[in-house]
Amino acid sequence: MPSATVNDFFIALTNDSSSKEDLEKVYTGLSNFVDAFNSDKSIRLCLINDIYPSSVKNDLIAQIVSDCNATRKFLEVVIEFNLLKSFIESREFFLKKLRRLLGKVKIEVVTIDLNQKEKLELIKSKLEDIWGSNLELSFKEDPKILGGVVLQVEDKYFDGSLMGKVNELKKINLKGELNV
């Protein structure tokens, strides 16, 4: 008899959460869980290590995902079926799948200065113009890019920074020929 996979439980989770609000809650819960997992080493060690009993892991998950019961149950079942490692390995894939269901686009924007609020608003409005208003935007500061902006839209990468232009120049030799 073939055993259940994380994807089976995930499909069940998304089918049960029929309304968009429910899906939004599931997405928020899973995002919180993934953020906590990525940022906190002790949580990561506790959840991945087999020496901790399921009850400890469930308590930890209940603390992280307190707002959404469906997400909590999903994660508890995943732990019960010993599929947490598989889920963790594919966490970005499942979050992306949920975003697609919600019509949401995740965009990470890198600029040289986060203090220029007007510029950030301008970028936000332009991005909404391109990908719609349902965006999950995050801004990062990196002075090394010299100017312009770098976008990570889901799995696509757009480099509009001055450092990117400089790096393109590195591919051209002194005679003006392109080094491939």
**Contact status, residue 131 vs residue 111, Cβ threshold 8 Å:** no
Pairing of strands 135-141, 148-153: unpaired
**Residues forming beta bridges with residue 149, ordered by sequence position:** 160
Q: Which string of DSSP letters, residue by residue, matches 11-45?
A: HHHHHH--SHHHHHHHHHHHHHHHHHHHH-HHHHH
- Which CB sits closer to another protein, 49 or 173? 173
Q: Which distant-in-sequence residues (6+ apart) come within 8 Å of 88 by Cβ? A: 37, 47, 48
Examine residue 117 and tell whether it contacts another protein (CB under 8 A): no
Which range of residues in 11-19, 67-75, 88-96, 141-149 is near another protein by CB under 8 A?
141-149
Examine residue 119 and tell whether it contacts another protein (CB under 8 A): yes
- Which CB sits closer to another protein, 85 or 126? 126
Q: Kindly identify the residues of this chain, within the stretch 4-33, that bind another protein according to CB under 8 A.
A: none
> What residue ranges bind another protein (CB under 8 A)?
111-112, 116, 119, 122-123, 126-127, 129-131, 146-149, 151, 158, 160, 162-163, 166, 169-170, 173-174
